[in-house]
Structure 1
Amino acid sequence: MGGAVGIMPVTDSVFLLAESREHPMHVGSLEIFTPPEGAGPDYVSDLYAKFLETEVVDEVFRKRPGHPVSSLGYLWWSVDEDVDLEYHVRHSALPVSGRSTDLFALVSRLHGTLLDRHRPLWEMYLVEGVEGGRFAVYTKTHHSLMDGVTALRLLHRTLDPDPDSEARVPWNLPERARPRTAHTAAAPANGLAPVPAALLVAARGLAGDAAEAAAGVWRVARTVLGQRSVALPFEAPRSIFNVPIGGARRFASQSWPLDRIARVRDEADASFNDVVLAMCSGALRAFLLELDALPEDPLVAMVPVSLRTAERIDAGGNSVGVTLCNLGTDSPDPVERLRVIRASMSEGKALFHGLTPVEALVWSAANIAPLGLAPVPGFVRLTPPPFNLIISNVPGPREPLYWQGSRLEGVYPTSVVLDGQALNITVTTTAGSLDVGIVGCRRTLPTLPRLLAHLEQSLTDLEKAFAPE
């Protein structure tokens, strides 16, 4: 039963409105753990039973969409009083081999299924039998509840640098407890939200944002026009990634030592993110050459930028801007590709500098707005893509972390792909490693796991190109 209700920001409602069977709009991650020495055969089963005993569930994990008032989407959240943890938290196992391909197949299948909107929008799977005596945890949360940065930060807060600490779960972190917001009110007996009051509150907030946005539009446009080398939507070439997609997904992941990326960064006088983008650029070029599908013009990546302030770092919802990056895939030279990427990202960062949060959202919305037209028949096939793919970099923990004695070995993000955007690469860090999670449309990119080998070769090429003399 739904209890209290709260206004749903437009930025959250958009992810519910955009969702369909072919376009699940949840984000998540796959975590790999090595159990402590002496862990018995029932270790994971005992963890699962412990999680089901949780009595208190944080409000964010009790939220589900309220009843829609029109075809325009949802305007409020309903908060369930009781959560069926046995439904949301599930225990699974791999075949006896426990190979990475078995794990990839399971995550691919799970990531392609929709979350039930009649329940809080999240699920967790504990997976036994991973090769080497390890186990995995796959989680997915609807993008309307929280963005990928928030989801990963919540995950990290369940872990501890002390291997002897007790396991915690994202839905029961006591330090997250806080009073209801001012816009939360009791639901009437029929479970429906007080629509007139909700609309009035939402309208006041939207009016204020709209006024600030209107004032900032001209300044943003003037800045962009003054920096014409900034990548703009619809300048990307058409590629095999920019086609209508189906609902099935393919997932692959791998880790690389951080010191390899750091050495290239230092020798090239570039940022860490520039090197990661260059690593992806080389891999994408090789992957497309292998398929005889490399465009003559360079691919353009949409790169999310967190706009979340320190005060809101653990809040739910979404606070993400975007910039576009020229990946330089038309060049066979890794040095030239990195130079192009560094220049493109520098221009994008300069554009964001000094913008208010609303102005930054205006510019970001201009970049991603064309995706809203993807459902229009023929739009994806007949128009140039606004960009070719999404590449995200989410900062992770810098020290070894544990979950009831189990060491965290890797965190592999599982993000969203969209109509006309069949590939997503998201990276994060775990202590001394770079963890890469790749999600794609299964029908469009059946050989997606080949990107892992190309990422390794691309990093090797960068190391050779910037090796100290």
Structure 2
Amino acid sequence: MDFLNPLDAIFLAFESREHPMHVGGLQLFEPPADAGPEFARELYETMAAATEVRPRFRRHPSRMFGGFSSLAWSHAENVDLHYHVRRSALPSPGGMGDLLDLTERLHGQLLDRHRPLWETRLIEGLDDGRFAVYVKMHHALIDGVSAMRLLQRTLTDDPLDTRVRVPWVTPPPVTKDAFEAEHVDSPWQQLRRALPRIIRNSRSIATPLRGIIDGRLTLPMTAPPTMFNVPIGGARSIAVRSWPMERVNAIRTATGATVNDVVLAMSAAALRAYLIEHDALPADPLIAMVPVNIRSAAESDASEGNIVAACLANLATHLDDPIERLTAISTSMRETKQVFTQLPKLEAMALSALLMTPLGVSVIPGFEGLPRMPFNLVISNVPGPRKPVYMQGARLDSNYPLSIPFDSQAMNITLTSNSENLDFGIVGCRRTVPDLDRFPDHLEAGLAELERAVA
């Protein structure tokens, strides 16, 4: 039995039918030129035959006092791979709409807590000849950065390498640092040991307090109420699209902003247009929570669970000018990062937990109607492959990350780099976020607006 770290325990404790707490990904692959009609079936059979399942993929919540616990993991002795790894086909004609319809249904379904908390589905029948792989894992098992690095270790940059590597078998790299990271104290032990130091270390406390006092930190509970900040249901809507990285880099070069700043500005423009379209744009700027990875190189591969800091970014949606909006976003992110980078890792995680505490309170009965939210939505940029990668000779064409809408957080925007593209996955509550399929058009308009402004 293994104890969860505090953040992972929260992901298990807050899960309900309306709030599935898994992250996912939808990968589209282009089969090799010499692939036969049975390529997808044979690939599925090879995947399902990989039965040496790693410990992470055997974990499920332990049972205590007659029910499931959110404090500790149990490990399944036997994993039924034919339950966890399945094959599906789309109805004819098999367009992207059919694929997204199936993915929406899969992404809205809870994982079975009696079993290890992950599933994989190989999906064939797309009319353009591609096939898809949908994967979901409970967020208590993995964070976005770790999930992307795990995916990259299952792929290869050699199109002639036909070995099939699957996440549940792929081991972490064996290095001295990784070995040491696997044998350090648990996060609970580290936090308990660090608490006296945190209390004694006035600098650790004073640094974020000074950031709050002088306005360098965007505060929780300052986000304006929007149509996203309402109770949600369990059904999901999904929208996806890809953009060439060169378009984002051209704006970055022209303005001196970072890639993430430009992505946030695209998202801010899209949110502004979407809310205007629904006559729901607030006068105050929207606030986004932007997760920032704070793992060491060894922890990235050897440690499990979530090690992130929560930065709050002012999206400046009240500004009409795209360059003024980008400048405000860049300033907000730069100053927030400056505060976090001055803190040791555990203190940064503690401050992040403080910033996110109101979100947890909002799911408690009786607190759903809080007049202000800690932030309006999560926007996450996860590093992905920087060059073309393959699985059994099939090229990864698109890699759409799919994350979690929360109660009072009805939309999530997550993106990842994929060779020369940025792949966006937008997930929303089906009941409370209408016309989500139009949102990628607003993202394109936001990017084009920035391009015109810097031309």
Give TM-score, length-normalised by structure 2: 0.94
Q: Which residue among 357, 364, 373 is the counterpart of 2:352?
A: 364
For residue 436 of structure 1, report the CA deviation from its aligned partner.
Answer: 0.2
Correspondence list, 1:2-41, <5 A: 5-41=1-37
Q: Does 1:322 align with 2:310?
A: yes
- Would you say the 8 A contact 1:67–1:74 is kept in 2? no
Structure-2 change in CA distance of 1:46 and 1:457 (3 Å) = same
Q: Does 1:104 align with 2:74?
A: no
Correspondence list, 1:78-117, <5 A: 78-117=74-113
For 1:379, the equivalent position in structure 2 comes to: 367
For residue 395 of structure 1, report the CA deviation from its aligned partner.
Answer: 0.7
1:429 maps to amino acid:
S
Which runs of 5 or more residues in structure 2 are unaligned? none
For residue 70 of structure 1, report the CA deviation from its aligned partner.
Answer: 9.3
For residue 220 of structure 1, report the CA deviation from its aligned partner.
Answer: 3.9
Q: Which residue among 415, 419, 444 is the counterpart of 1:431?
A: 419
Correspondence list, 1:285-364, <5 A: 285-314=272-301, 315-364=303-352
For 1:197, the equivalent position in structure 2 comes to: none
The 2-side partners of 1:113 and 1:225 are apart by 39
For 2:432, the equivalent position in structure 1 comes to: 444
Q: Which residue among 215, 224, 237 is the counterpart of 2:224?
A: 237
Structure-2 change in CA distance of 1:126 and 1:71 (3 Å) = closer
1:123 maps to amino acid:
E
For residue 72 of structure 1, report the CA deviation from its aligned partner.
Answer: 10
2:252 maps to amino acid:
R
For 2:234, the equivalent position in structure 1 comes to: 247
For residue 93 of structure 1, report the CA deviation from its aligned partner.
Answer: 1.2
Q: Secondary structure at the match of 2:75?
A: strand
Q: Secondary structure at the match of 2:305?
A: coil
Q: Does 1:453 align with 2:441?
A: yes
The 1-side partners of 2:130 and 2:309 are apart by 36
Q: Tell me the alpha carbon deviations over residues 352-393 of structure 1, each in whole angstroms, 9 at most, x when there is no partner.
A: 122001110121111111111112334232321111010000
For 1:395, the equivalent position in structure 2 comes to: 383
Q: Which residue among 157, 167, 170 is the counterpart of 1:170?
A: 167
Q: Which residue among 87, 96, 116 is the counterpart of 1:120?
A: 116
For 2:154, the equivalent position in structure 1 comes to: 158
> What number of residue pairs does the alignment pair up?
447
For residue 181 of structure 1, report the CA deviation from its aligned partner.
Answer: 6.0
Q: Secondary structure at the match of 1:379?
A: coil
The 2-side partners of 1:215 and 1:336 are apart by 42
Q: Secondary structure at the match of 1:424?
A: strand
Large movers: runs of 4+ above 3 Å: 68-73, 174-184, 201-206, 212-217
Q: Secondary structure at the match of 1:230?
A: coil
Q: Secondary structure at the match of 2:270?
A: helix
The 2-side partners of 1:447 and 1:369 are apart by 30
- Would you say the 8 A contact 2:191–2:346 is kept in 1? no
The 2-side partners of 1:382 and 1:443 are apart by 20
Q: Secondary structure at the match of 1:359?
A: helix
Which runs of 5 or more residues in structure 1 are unaligned? 185-200
The 2-side partners of 1:209 and 1:83 are apart by 37
Aligned-residue CA RMSD in angstroms? 2.1
The 2-side partners of 1:274 and 1:71 are apart by 44
Give TM-score, length-normalised by structure 1: 0.91
Structure-2 change in CA distance of 1:231 and 1:259 (3 Å) = same
For 2:126, the equivalent position in structure 1 comes to: 130
The 1-side partners of 2:394 and 2:191 are apart by 46
Q: Secondary structure at the match of 1:380?
A: coil
